[in-house]
Chains A and B, each alone.
Chain A
Amino acid sequence: MSEEKFDAIVVGAGMSGNAAAYTMASHGLRVLQLERGEYPGSKNVQGAILYANMLETIIPDFRDDAPLERHLVEQRFWIMDDTSHTGMHYRSDDFNERRPNRYTIIRAQFDKWFSCKVREAGGTVLCETTATKLARDSSGKVIGVHTDRAGDVILADVVVLAEGVNGLLGTRAGLREMPKPENVALAVKEMHFLPEEVIAERFGLTEDEGCVIEAGGTISRGITGLGFLYTNRESISLGIGCLVSGLAETMEKPYALLDAFKRHPSIRPLLAGSEVKEYAAHLIPEGGFKAIPQLFGDGWVVVGDAAQLNNAVHREGSNLAMASGRIAGESIFRIKCRGGSMTKQNLSLYKSMLDKSFVMKDLMKHKDMPALLHTNCQSFFTTYPKLISQAAQNFVRVDGTPKIEREKATTAAFIKARSRWGLVSDAIRLAFAWR
């Protein structure tokens, strides 16, 4: 292998790596992909919602054989306090379309499938192989990688770093910083198995329709964080993610938060009788636009979570990973076609193509959100959820108190907790960050 030189080496066989490797291999480039897991997906964790459009751009007929669980027809957003949830549910039969927009998936199975597509397209995939170090020439240009398999450095014109949020190669080589505790969330997740019919009945679904719940509130005990529940065909993915900095400050145990979420009176009946078959943990990049590092250099580009390309506000990551992987692959192919070498200057094409895509536009739009949520975590994740629950209860409960008094009590509770000025400034800051 050491004799051979590849057009590109892709480090990682997750969403971004597979997209990049597939794109380049299907354009006829000689691609070597390295994955440290026993099989692609064995190290990866996701909720997981797959956004069809971004995969369709890469593999148009993926629906024919990709392992998909349920297509989503209903989304619930819940604000929770200790005993209640106030929710917005959106359900539409429009989502029962011929080419559905969103699906739930199981990453270990999905990544295996995606990786098979890379092989079919002519890419070489080596599993159980960890890239340990970038190889550079005397000018500092990246020329390949060292691995933990015996043998010399493997050479390539360009290395695509698709190593995920906890990527060691790029940070060790000083190409980007290590993620900061306030820019990454630790998510813990369990897989709860139930018969298909039970899931369908509990969530009001037929056949392969699916429903997802995103939940915020006192479940994260004042730390910036969110819980989720996603329906698969015969299992439910349940998890909660909280900023690492918040966990370190409060010393909350992540598995205790997950257990409390599971036992919440709004969640418990949905899981009743289930058998848990796996417990997983993974980081999610949450720093948004401001945390994006340098994306390219001499002989390298970085894609997906390793580049912090993750939209925490909308809970999208895999699609940004796939899109950035594809764009990296296309830009490398274009440079090759015109006979260019993989210099920093030429590879800036990747950044300019990415800037024009939804990836950068969406991250730019929410650039102030992470800081806002982080600095106001107590009000957004404890105070407001409690107030909203009280307000909803005030509205619904009938006990002979005149309505006007109930409304006054609701308003007074909000002002007491946050002050008039606090409420107005929270609203304005939220509106600006969302804008």
Chain B
Amino acid sequence: MTATIVERIEDKLYQNRYLVDTGRPHIKVRAHLSPSPNLLALTKICPAKCYELNDTGQVEIVADGCMECGTCRVLCEANGDIEWNYPRGGFGILFKFG
């Protein structure tokens, strides 16, 4: 039997077109000591794997691969865990097919 090959999210995102607004991230995580359950969930359920846990147990974001779906906003904006904006007009994900 061949082992199951699990695709890497990086390879998936590599197929997409982005215009990254360098130095102006559109999503920010509020400084915290330990993440709320919803913030922690984002490290698994963000479809672009933008959220990761760092060595000291805080959730960090690198929003370059973000597809602007809004999942993290729905889960974490109301309680102030994150600050969410659209990238400036024209920047961000550019779907070729959508």
A residues apposed to B, CB below 8 Å: 36-38, 41-46, 48, 106-109, 111, 127-130, 147-149, 165-166, 168, 178-181, 184, 186, 188, 190-191, 235, 244, 247-248, 251-256, 259, 263, 276-283
Contact A166 B75 (CB under 8 A): no
A109 to B45, CA, bound (A): 29
Known: A244-B74, A278-B16. A148 touches B88 (CB 8 A): yes
What are 5 A-B contacts with C-beta separation under 8 Å? A43-B92, A108-B97, A181-B74, A248-B45, A254-B47
Q: How many pairs of residues, A versus B, come closer than 8 Å at their CB atoms?
A: 138
Known: A41-B98, A180-B74, A277-B15. A282 touches B69 (CB 8 A): yes
A190 to chain B: which residues have CB within 8 Å? 12
B64 at interface by CB-CB < 8 Å: no
Interface size class of B (residues with CB under 8 A): 35 or more
Contact B41 A280 (CB under 8 A): no
Contact of A148 among B6, B89, B96 (CB under 8 A): B89
Contact B75 A181 (CB under 8 A): yes
A247 to B86, CA, bound (A): 23
Question: When each residue 55-97 of chain B gets 1 if its CB lies under 8 Å from chain A and 0 otherwise, what string results?
Answer: 0000000000001111101110110000011101110111111
B31 at interface by CB-CB < 8 Å: no
A277 to chain B: which residues have CB within 8 Å? 15, 96-97
A28 to B12, CA, bound (A): 45
A350 to B3, CA, bound (A): 57
Contact B75 A283 (CB under 8 A): no
B27 at interface by CB-CB < 8 Å: no
Question: When each residue 5-32 of chain B gets 1 if its CB lies under 8 Å from chain A and 0 otherwise, what string results?
Answer: 0110100110110010000000000000
B90 to chain A: which residues have CB within 8 Å? 36-38, 127-128
